[in-house]
Chain A
Amino acid sequence: MSNHTKPSSNVAKIARRTFLVSTGVVGGGVALGLTLSPNRLKMHRDDAASGDEVILNTWVKLTPDNQLTVIIPHSEMGQGVGTGLAQMLAEEMEADWDTVAIQQAPADDNYINSDLGRGYIVGEGAQIPGFVYPMLDFAFLQISKGLVGQITGGSTAIRLTGYYGMRRAGAAAREMLMRAAAEEWGVSANSLRAENSRLYHDASDRSAPFGAFAAAAARFAPNLKPTLKAPKDYKIVGAPKRRLDLPEKVTGEAQFGMDVIVPGMKYAAIAQAPVFGARAINIEDPGNAAQKIVNLGDAVIVASDSYWEASNALRQLDIRWEGGDATLTSDALRAMHNAHLGETRHEEIMDKSGNAATLLQAADAISVEYAVPYLAHATMEPMNCTASVRDGKCDVWVGHQNPIEARDDAASALGLKKSDVTVHNTYLGGGFGRRGRTDNVVQAVRAAAEIGAPVKLIWSREQDMTNDFYRPAVVSRMSGLVEDGKISAISHAYVYSDAGMPDSERPFAFQYDVPNKRIARHPYPSPIPVGAWRSVDFTQMGFFNESFIDELAHTAGADPLEFRHAHKSDPRHRAVLERLADEANWGRPETPGASQGVAIVDSFASIVGQVAEITIEDGNRVRIHRITSVVDCGQVINPNAAEAQIHSSVIFALSAVFFGEITLQNGEVIQQNFPDYEMIRLRNAPEQPVRFIKSDLPPGGLGEPGTPPVAPALTNAIFAATGTRIRELPLTRAGFRSI
């Protein structure tokens, strides 16, 4: 969007209406996507089924011996997506959970997210007209690229694919089986019931397993509007089923991209331009016949018989780099950000009543500045990719959040047709947004093509740390006025680099009832690559907004939690705060002498409130006793996996708050590895009670919403403990460190 002078709420309303109506009309078109066309059987990839398996629709396979396989179109990067999606499908199908297995969908157009959109907005089989894209963008609360990809991101798998897709696919499959059984038994489908992967005709006391009807059922077209169960009847959804991907993750058998072995492959190490934008203009090679050197321009790759030998050979090369801005430093960048904050050119993204500017000239208005740094993703599995290019075909093995885009970019880099590239998606050793990019894929396929043998490209940790698409640094000025105990005006101006989050997500929103609000964004393209980082813009905006409301509460002499509550009218937000006060013993910390801080952020259609309970030791060492989370994410599909996502989000955010900062000197990223980009470890990980609000509302996202409130909850607790207001992260800038 280029023009932010008007609020986007009108678009939002139209989109939502369109989408509700469409859902009523086309229903299961969403779920079954391409399978609904008359020649649907031809549209399945033959290799998705083997032996005597029968594919009932895009997302479910059934064998005659009654084993069910749910095909998962999202990538597994720790969130347990396959298990959750399978629970949703199995629930509606009335399947026996013990017969359910999951299988990664091929990187195939049949599984791209736009099938969801197609069915949703304009009905099954139709193409999406260009003008619908902005609405889809809203309706799916995800990066618009997701519409032409097979993306795992934006906390969308459960709330979109699962809620609108898997449930209907399961229900439609059940109805197809019932029709087949009704035909065979000569009874009406209505007189049948399904339970635990069996069909029953009680009147004649007959029953048979689903599998007995698999082949016959596949003859029917899936119903567009299958009958869905009421949440009160759920048996599988809402149960803490064990994750189906974990057994092989405790034995070392799970295959990550890093673990792929292709016969005859070479191992490759890479040196990317140390200064962003530089090119390798000369390579002095001491000469070692066993190595192969590939100059990609912005990177140099050495391939050998082992990664160790390739790394050593790479280190011996004398590479001359030229270009890029070798004068760039973090301090200079910060100064430019600060200067830009004072400029008048900006996008007015929200201006409610227009009175904020006037009110904020009052003498008792407060105005403060915040700043957060660039952050790296630092997935445990460093970036890597294995590729084979032979006879005009390319195979790519990689753990990727968007395998379709990986395929397309590989094809484009090689000048091949998309259909000539096959992406084999593996488990991801962490994603967090980083594995949605295809830089590693393009490098690997180009190296494989040039060398003429399969290549496994492995980035060192140092290469991974210094060649990321970083969470953007942001500087922010917030102003506010409290009159008679209530906030009368808020103004927020910030300098910002686009990390790809659509405005429809409204990360910038000050999520409180304030009569006069002004939000002005000063775009400032980042000189270094930036991208989505777990919860994207909500990380920065959550810190600013939830720190500032705390400052206003203290200004007003009010309790920070009660002050928030008094400025919320959304009943779900209010309920989260009320429950949080109770669960966290707000005002009565369990640890004697401890201090508490609170924050609440609504992101990706889920609301997370957190209280951090801390003590300060030796004047500056922060001991976090516990972080209590109360979550309203609508329906909870798998409480055990849901709790894990909150645990995970909290630790991810804490590492950033305590240690996370990517800085630049001479145009190069300074941080190289974990010692200078440290992480929370077991000894400083707090206890984490997590409570979910019971709800039958549609599920919200859960991979990201636990992250944004963590930093402000902690810094608000530090303020309560010490009177020091942290306005810049990480905490080391204010002299605090972890125990």
Chain B
Amino acid sequence: MKISFTLNGKATAVEAPQDMPLLWVLREKLEMTGTKFGCGIAACGACTVHINGVATRTCVMPVAAIEGAEIKTIEGVAPAPGELSAVQSAWLEHQAPQCGYCQSGMIMAAEALLDQNPDPSDEDIDNAITNICRCGTYERVRTAIHAAARARREA
């Protein structure tokens, strides 16, 4: 079936089986590979994108369910080409990624958290960021989220 939605601000239409998860539509039909496959059961968060502003794990989200929705992926986070979002900048400032594979999902989860909560406590971060990172970047991720929150508040 044909599904239409807004992807990173652009009207987009794809032809895909209606139960095909959004993850695979993004990666294979639209060839946007920044969003990662990790577990296929919404347990790890590597596939996190924003659907209407809500951080959502897309490996179990049928594409039919996003008809008309606003989708934002890691490729659409930066304010302009060649620039970085406050979260991305903090990620670099604090050298958070290691292998980097889970970091798109981690960044999307952090962006959504800060959109809703401009000054999260450690506990807020614990509750919101449940993504798995096998490289164990958690301590720097936490530091980077606090730093990004500060930068966004001061911007």
Where the two chains meet, the residues of A that have a C-beta atom closer than 8 Å to any C-beta of B are 76-80, 242-243, 245-247, 249-256, 258-259, 261, 267, 306-309, 378-382, 427-432, 458, 460-462, 640-641, 644, 647-652, 655, 673-675, 679-683, 685, 687-688
Contact partner of B126 (CB less than 8 A), chosen from A247, A307, A458, A682, is: A682
CB <8 Å contact, B131 and A644: no
Contact partner of B100 (CB less than 8 A), chosen from A245, A458, A651, is: A245
In the complex, A688→B95 CA distance in Å?
15
Across-interface contacts of A644 in B (CB, < 8 A): 95, 98, 137, 140
In the complex, A681→B50 CA distance in Å?
21
In the complex, how many angstroms separate the beta carbon of B65 from the nearest chain A beta carbon?
A: 15
In the complex, how many angstroms separate the beta carbon of B95 from the nearest chain A beta carbon?
A: 5
3 tightest CB-CB pairs across the interface, nearest first?
A: A252-B34, A651-B136, A429-B101
In the complex, A306→B139 CA distance in Å?
37
In the complex, how many angstroms separate the beta carbon of A305 from the nearest chain B beta carbon?
A: 8
B141 beta carbon closer than 8 Å to chain A: yes
Given contacts A267-B28, A381-B36, contact A246 B95 (CB under 8 A): yes
CB <8 Å contact, B103 and A249: yes
In the complex, A259→B102 CA distance in Å?
13
In the complex, A532→B138 CA distance in Å?
25
Chain A residue nearest in CB terms to B101:
A429
In the complex, A674→B46 CA distance in Å?
12
CB <8 Å contact, B46 and A243: no
In the complex, A461→B74 CA distance in Å?
22
Across-interface contacts of A381 in B (CB, < 8 A): 36, 38, 99, 101
Where the two chains meet, the residues of B that have a C-beta atom closer than 8 Å to any C-beta of A are 17, 20-21, 24, 27-29, 31-41, 43-44, 46, 73-75, 77-78, 84, 88, 91-92, 95, 97-104, 107, 125-127, 129-142
In the complex, A395→B17 CA distance in Å?
31
Given contacts A460-B40, A650-B136, contact A255 B99 (CB under 8 A): no
CB <8 Å contact, B31 and A261: yes
In the complex, how many angstroms separate the beta carbon of B29 from the nearest chain A beta carbon?
A: 7
CB <8 Å contact, A380 and B134: yes
CB <8 Å contact, A647 and B139: yes
Contact partner of B34 (CB less than 8 A), chosen from A251, A431, A461, A687, is: A251
In the complex, A256→B39 CA distance in Å?
16
CB <8 Å contact, B103 and A250: yes
In the complex, A652→B134 CA distance in Å?
6
A-B contacts, 13 listed (Cβ < 8 Å):
A78-B135, A242-B95, A247-B92, A250-B91, A250-B103, A306-B24, A380-B134, A640-B95, A673-B40, A681-B138, A682-B125, A683-B130, A685-B138
Chain B residue nearest in CB terms to A675:
B43
Across-interface contacts of A462 in B (CB, < 8 A): 40
In the complex, A647→B134 CA distance in Å?
11
CB <8 Å contact, B34 and A673: no
In the complex, A535→B137 CA distance in Å?
19
Across-interface contacts of B36 in A (CB, < 8 A): 256, 258, 380-381, 429
Given contacts A242-B92, A250-B92, A258-B33, contact A380 B97 (CB under 8 A): no
Given contacts A308-B21, A429-B36, A461-B38, contact A679 B100 (CB under 8 A): no
Chain B residue nearest in CB terms to A245:
B100
Given contacts A251-B78, A309-B17, contact A681 B92 (CB under 8 A): no
Between B38, B98, B137, the greatest number of chain A beta carbons within 10 A of the residue's beta carbon is seen for B98
CB <8 Å contact, B99 and A674: no
Given contacts A249-B97, A267-B28, A681-B132, contact A461 B41 (CB under 8 A): yes
In the complex, A640→B139 CA distance in Å?
13
Across-interface contacts of B141 in A (CB, < 8 A): 682
